[in-house]
Amino acid sequence: MKLKIEKLDNVYVRILSEDEGLLYELSEFFTYEYPGARFTPQYRARLWDGKVRMYDIMRRSSWIC
């Protein structure tokens, strides 16, 4: 299980791995439900599920926490 982390700029890092399962676990770990999301117009219109994802599987990038 190799994991490579590259710093893109002062906000984002890129995480690369050959193990897709590990990347999905990272995505789940760095996801949380936004407090009060049920009351936002985007949630009520079913445009957003109310979760904030700090790791994006498609771009393979994450915010620096």
Residue 65: per-residue pLDDT: 52
Strands laid side by side in the 12-17 sheet? 3-7, 12-17, 61-63, 55-56
C-alpha span between 38 and 65 (Å, rounded) = 25
Map out the domains of the chain with their CATH numbers. Answer: 3-63 (3.30.780.20)
Integer Cα distance of 11 and 59 in angstroms: 14
The number of angstroms, rounded, from the C-alpha of 38 to the middle of its chain's C-alpha atoms is 20
pLDDT tens by residue, 18-65: 888 999 999 999 999 999 999 999 999 999 999 999 988 888 777 765
